[in-house]
Chain A
């Protein structure tokens, strides 16, 4: 099953701010290059772009969870 990994260590966010909807909700289709979340590293924010495509996304890491570099954020089917 293809997976999307965190490129950096930090905090994972599923939306660009608490007031905005998430980039992707459970079951959304994902194309290569789609933004699926943000990683906050030392107060700076970096987009997580999928390098793989899939018909349905399933998040493994919760919103606002700390992650290590390489951690699986979501899986695709």
Chain B
């Protein structure tokens, strides 16, 4: 078992990790920037170390500062949380090179899954369905044409050296393709000095479904799926488990394919294999594997009764998986909503400020993971996530009703938050019937923007 853990993160996830460590009797060290000296994670940890100025680059992304804090406080291990350095292979390597345990996979596994092409190849090799497309780079249009048989239209042409949405073209017909391919090649060469392209089928209407994995480097199990189709600008806002869209047979195929991938790469720790599910075709496709604990992990914890962060810490401490696949079962339905410091009535403009007073929802089946306290000033330098409200009930229907109940109890005075969005969604018939896809919310927001002003509080 780990003896002393440095938590290389801030906000609600730092609080979450400190809680899990303390439950296991592991001593904790928080790190913080100048802007976070009064943060909750600093208050709750056994010790705290200032690692630099507010800019994340100079503090939470400063590997040298973090390793120095770990050495000075005698830590034997580091948990990266999510975001910041969590999927930085160099950080995992640096932690190991310093003689410390990284609570997560090896740098090698992070590097493999961080490389889109390598990850796609690894998934394909493990028998995980991938989005139909080229198996690697396509150098010319003569090599590209036969791939269209697999992809069909619309097809996406991507620069191999691109990223973050840059260098992407979509062709709807063969003639568009004949025109777009050479253009994309010339553009990629000009922009990135590399004319290599990839091709992939465009899946226009899909659900986002992901599988939670736990693995110890020798064996791997799944903890079923989460559905995260309600997204705004590709950011998840509402996550739930299980997905209402999967048949038992497809759920089994999906989850076992994720386990095959984790085993194939000798994965260790908690991870998530993300898929697109094309409901009309009843097919799922691998998108990527996230090699960290995810924001939405609590919905899995609520339906399985597992403590995923505690399991990560046990695995990092050298224990084999404690849970067998047959021990993981689903009870009821859970939903998580992300309360961000954003004003939904003003196109989700960020809203940092001071929490004047706080009323946290409670009662059966309600969990509130947060770094908020009355009097806390939310700094403007980091992510806008303030809290995650998670509800659990016997059925999906009852969970939505419970979510509306818990939201009516929640009061965060002094800040604008995304609470009105979730009140409106919980009351929406399409959400109630589970009839949505990854682009549904953006359309809904265009029609329903006027409903997102805060309601008078009871």
Contact = CB atoms under 8 A, between A and B. Distances in A.
- Chains A and B bind each other: yes
A60 to B, nearest CB: 18
Interface residues of A, number: 11
B380 A10 contact: yes
A56 interface: no
Contact of A66 (B381, B383, B384): B381
Contacts of B384: 42-43
User: For the complex, would chain B's binding face be called helix, strand, loop or mixed by DSSP majority?
Assistant: loop
Contact of A44 (B53, B54, B350): B350
A41 interface: yes
B141 interface: no
Contacts of A66: 35, 53-55, 381
A50 interface: no
A41 B55 contact: no
A53 interface: no
A25 to B, nearest CB: 22
B423 to A, nearest CB: 22
Interface in B36-65: 53-55
A10 B349 CA distance: 13
Nearest to A44: B350
B55 A8 contact: no
Interface string B241-275: 00000000000000000000000000000000000
B133 interface: no
Contact of B350 (A11, A41, A64): A41
A58 to B, nearest CB: 23
Contacts of A54: none
22 contacts: A8-B350, A8-B380, A9-B352, A10-B352, A10-B380, A10-B381, A11-B54, A11-B55, A11-B381, A40-B381, A41-B352, A42-B341, A42-B342, A42-B352, A42-B382, A42-B383, A42-B384, A43-B382, A44-B349, A66-B35, A66-B53, A66-B381
Interface of A: 8-11, 40-44, 64, 66
